Amino acid sequence: MSHSFQALRDRCSDSWRAYVEHDFVRQLGAGTLAAESFRHYLKQDYRFLIHFGRAYALAVYKSRDITELRHALDGLRTIIDVELRLHVDYCAQWGISEAELGKLPEARATMAYTRYVLDTGNRGDLLDMHVALAPCLVGYAEVSRFLARQADTVRGDANPYEAWLQMYESDAFQRAAQAEERWLDAQLVEVSDARFAQLATIFEDATRLEIDFWQMGLDRSL
């Protein structure tokens, strides 16, 4: 039996829906999210991106051939040289300096998800790690599409989170998410049912940890 990324989503549909349609997401779209909740989320997302870069560095090490090595290295460069700089600049617009970002305490939800990804990558192979990271890259793209369909999503200057919405609905981000889905489809198509069940557990665990990350933003918890 062949498997796909869509089958992973279907396997944990309740958790996936709870993640994509979380109150944090809905409030972002409606422009009603408390500014301090958003700032707390932005700060912790900086810490997450650092560990995301570490995951891609691990992917470089885990690569089995030059094609995989180049793919992982491109991801690492994008995170460290592009996304982190953009994130720092965006945080500055919210009154959060790079010096402040460098001294942040790490929230438990941040630690839980990032260490889970790194532990999964250390114990398993590239596919394990990509499945653990998929709720972030692929999930944010789906969150953007979900918000675009909601009648109460506010766009333009009336929404203080307009720049965030634009970031994840951009063609570049959507293309990156689609490319990741294609990569996962190519890897999953020939895995055994037993292996797929293992990967589905990883995917559901990672999705639940992403739900906790949204909730951490709402609660402003450490």
Task: Determine the straight-line distance between the first and last CA of the chain, rounded to whole angstroms.
Answer: 43
Highest mean pLDDT among 15-19, 126-130, 183-187: 15-19
- Which has the closest alpha carbon to 212: 5, 12, 24? 24
Report, as an integer, the average pLDDT of 97-121. Answer: 92
pLDDT category of residue 1 using cuts at 50, 70 and 90: low
Q: How many CB atoms are located within 10 Å of the residue 64 CB?
A: 9
pLDDT at 35: 95
Residue located via tokens 């992403």: 210
Q: Has residue 179 got a pLDDT over 90?
A: no
pLDDT per position as a tens digit, 17-54: 999 999 999 999 999 999 999 999 999 999 999 998 89
pLDDT of residue 154: 96
The alpha-helical segments, DSSP class H, found in 79-192 are: 84-93, 98-102, 108-123, 126-148, 162-169, 171-188
* Alpha-carbon span 196 to 3, nearest angstrom: 7
pLDDT for res 70 = 87
DSSP-based three-state secondary structure for 12: coil
Q: Are 55 and 93 in contact (CB under 8 A)?
A: no
- 3-state DSSP: the chain helix, strand, coil percent, rounded to 5? 80, 0, 20
Q: Read off the pLDDT of each residue in 117-124 and give the average, rounded to a whole number.
A: 92
Which pLDDT score, from 0 to 100, does residue 175 have? 87
Task: Check residue 190 and give its pLDDT.
Answer: 86
Closest CA relative to residue 167, chosen from 83, 45, 100: 83
Q: What average pLDDT does this structure show over 199-220?
A: 96
Going by C-alpha positions, the residue among 123, 214, 197, 181 that lies closest to residue 5 is 181
191 phi and psi, to 5 degrees? -75, 155
| pLDDT averaged over every residue in the chain | 91
pLDDT computed for residue 79 by the predictor:
82
- pLDDT band of residue 63 (cuts 50, 70, 90) is confident
pLDDT single digits (tens) 158-178:
999 999 999 889 888 888 889
Residue with tokens 């839980």: 112
pTM of the predicted protein model: 0.90
Q: How many CA atoms lie within 13 A of 20 on its CB side?
A: 22
Q: Span 5-219: which CATH code?
A: 1.20.910.10
State what percent of residues in the chain have pLDDT above 70: 100
Q: Which two tokens stand for residue 51?
A: 């560990």
What share of the chain in percent tops pLDDT 90? 66
